[in-house]
Chains A and B, each alone.
Chain A
Amino acid sequence: MTEAVVQQEQAEPAQAAVRRAAAEDPPRAPLPEASGPSRRRRDGLLAFGFLSPTLLVFSVFILFPILFSLYLSFSQWNMFGGESTFVGLDNYARMFGDAEFWSVLAHTGVYTLGTVPVNMALALGAAFYLNTRVIGKRFLRAAFFTPVVISAVAAAVVWRWVFDPNLGLANYALEAIGFGAVNWSNSPAAAMVALIIVGVWKSFGINMVLFAAGLAGIPKHYYEAASIDGANGWQQFWHITVPLLAPTTLFVLVISIIGSFQVFDIVFVLTSGGPLGATKVLVFYLYEHAFKYFDMGYASAVAYVLFAILFALTLVQVRAFRGRGVRGI
């Protein structure tokens, strides 16, 4: 359905483009109709050509380091020089036996649970509302997108200031409305809340834009038809918007979860894992072991466990959405 709509909107300029392209080219014999194996073979070579720049950079700078890290996760490696020693599953065994690892995992889970739903709800709400008749949409969208654009370090520096128990804006405002100050930096619970607030603030702009685009793609005449049939706002939302938005929702959900599991910059600057390690998340734990304890092998093992978790979570999400009759990623 939607493809047809899109095609309709694009048909005019596209066909003109085709004609222009063909006109500039010297006429050639028309390509023979595709036949199974030969097409695939031809595609194979051509595909390789198209993929080669990406593949080259990818294998050298992305794939190889990742595989090398996998190897490292089974060894012990002196960072400054010297050889690496193969230790088999020692790093992994040590990790699963480390109480700190499990608490760090829990913290990361709490952070994800705290940010992702709030983030998505705010993003969807903003996107939805900005789709209606609002004055100054451009400004509003830019405003909500600003946190995304500021570097994580600069943002966290400002928020640290805001959450300072004595000198910061947050407590100043809280006291002004009579709420009473909160001990943001020294109370484990409050510190996690502060982190979640900054996390949501930092990234809901992207999700808003993604949702906005998804919403814009739902043809208006569905809503019109539904109104004529007598459906009210809520019914329209549940029966039209939600299902048609599902693919976008899946994309946003997957990206958000991956992002929140990998959070580091804001934790590093805002709380540094404190107080008493209450906001230490997985990547922070990894960083510590890599650059404070100089145990790169162990850090790589942690990275792979993180990878496994994200992989499993993504599969689960894709399956769940597939069940609703919607094609996922």
Chain B
Amino acid sequence: MNGVSVQFAGKTLGRVLGHVVVYAAALLTLAPFLWMILTSFKEVGEIFSYPPTWWPEVFTLDNYARAFQAAPFGKFYLNSLFVATTVTLGQLVTCSMAAYAFARMEFWGRDVLFFLFLATMMVPAHVTMIPSFMILHSLGMIDTYGALIIPGLASAFGTFLLRQFFLSIPKELEEAAFLDGCGRFRVLWRIIVPLSRPALATLAIFTFMGVFNDFLWALVVINSQELYTVQLGLAIFRDRYSTEWGSLMAGSVVATLPILIVFFLAQKQFIQGIALSGLKE
């Protein structure tokens, strides 16, 4: 009996220790973000104090007020949300269709084309930025929402991810549907997509995040302030000579929170999605 309780104590100690370590790690990981949030509530004088303080001595909403006054951040926010949502929805549609074609259909040049897709992920964006811009311009789409949305509607990464997932769905399900008279498209919409909700959620989060956080492309294609996204707006607080730290932090917090909330809520779908995506095949 003694041996058992010692073993039990050991296990419990191990478990407690494990919790301590992982929570410490989590806190360390969160620390910069917490810093960002707390700093956004500090007065200007305190932001620069040394030794650095954590909790604001004087709690102020001044930075947020300045941030929203400096520029119509409400509008920027809406722009970012609109663009990110549209691109996400669009990608879900185009990538599922393309992924289905790669996963299930046989056609000439299929594997070569797919590999080409993958290869394009390896070229850095700065180089393709200017030719892309020139194309958009020749289509007359500079300084429109279209410039932010249309190029984002195809994604090699998204196609890749969904294709892997579709590969893991047993073919028998579709065979049954064919025998019952369904066409390909219907099979995609009625069978594959409902089963792929987790993978689609995964792609949705990645895409939404990527578009929401984009700065460089928006900078290049947008001129009018009415179309500015949040990231462009934040640039106002950082110029060559100085940085308005308080407002910058406030703006960054505002820009980051929605994605975090979405992730927190969608977590379960997220993990499940990749589990079944056949990456382990």
Contacts and interface: CB of A to CB of B under 8 A. Distances in A.
Interface of A: 2-3, 6-7, 10, 13-15, 17-22, 25, 27-31, 39-40, 43-44, 46-48, 50-51, 53-58, 60-66, 68-69, 72, 79, 126, 129-130, 132-136, 138-155, 157-159, 161-162, 166-169, 172, 201, 205, 209-210, 212-214, 216-218, 244-248, 251, 258, 262, 264, 283, 286-287, 290, 296, 299-300, 303-304, 306-307, 310-311, 314, 327, 329
Given A61-B150, A287-B126, A310-B122, 16 more contacts: A18-B191, A54-B159, A58-B120, A129-B22, A142-B264, A149-B259, A152-B213, A161-B35, A167-B50, A169-B52, A209-B274, A214-B279, A258-B121, A303-B126, A307-B123, A314-B122
25 contacts: A17-B173, A28-B181, A31-B178, A43-B106, A47-B101, A47-B107, A54-B154, A58-B117, A62-B120, A69-B127, A147-B33, A153-B215, A157-B243, A157-B248, A167-B52, A169-B31, A212-B274, A213-B273, A244-B280, A247-B281, A248-B279, A290-B126, A299-B126, A307-B119, A307-B123
B135 interface: yes
B74 to A, nearest CB: 19
A146 B22 contact: no
Interface string B212-251: 0101000000000000000100100010000100001100
B275 A213 contact: yes
B114 to A, nearest CB: 10
Contacts of A264: 124, 126
B58 interface: no
Contacts of A43: 105-107
A6 B170 contact: yes
A283 B135 contact: no
B61 interface: no
Contact of A209 (B106, B248, B270): B270
A213 B248 contact: no
B280 A2 contact: yes
Contact of B130 (A39, A161, A296, A314): A296
A137 B146 CA distance: 40
B30 A57 contact: no
A290 B127 contact: yes
B118 to A, nearest CB: 7
A258 B156 CA distance: 14
A57 B255 contact: no
Interface in B247-274: 248-249, 252, 255-256, 259-260, 263-264, 267, 270-274
Given A57-B151, A143-B26, A327 B51 contact: no
B123 A61 contact: no
A112 to B, nearest CB: 14
Contact of A64 (B94, B131, B181, B182): B131
Given A64-B131, A213-B279, A154 B252 contact: yes
B120 A251 contact: no
Q: Most B CB atoms within 10 A — which of A19, A47, A217, A245? A: A47
B34 to A, nearest CB: 10
Nearest to B238: A157
Contacts of A50: 97-98, 100-101, 105, 184, 188
Given A50-B98, A144-B29, A216-B271, A149 B263 contact: yes
B33 A150 contact: yes
Contact of B271 (A58, A158, A212): A212
How would you classify the secondary structure of chain A's contact residues: helix, strand, loop or mixed? Answer: helix
A46 B105 contact: yes
Contact of B124 (A28, A172, A303, A329): A303
Given A47-B101, A169-B35, A247-B279, A21 B154 contact: no
B215 A3 contact: no
Contacts of B35: 158, 161-162, 169
**Interface range for B:** 35 or more
Contacts of B33: 146-147, 150, 158
Given A43-B105, A53-B93, A283-B124, A126 B36 contact: no
A61 B131 CA distance: 9
A142 B22 contact: no
A213 B274 contact: yes
A205 B186 CA distance: 36
Q: Most B CB atoms within 10 A — which of A132, A142, A287? A: A142
Contacts of A161: 35
B156 to A, nearest CB: 7
B280 to A, nearest CB: 5
B25 interface: yes
A7 B126 contact: no
B67 interface: no
B190 A65 contact: no
A21 B195 CA distance: 13
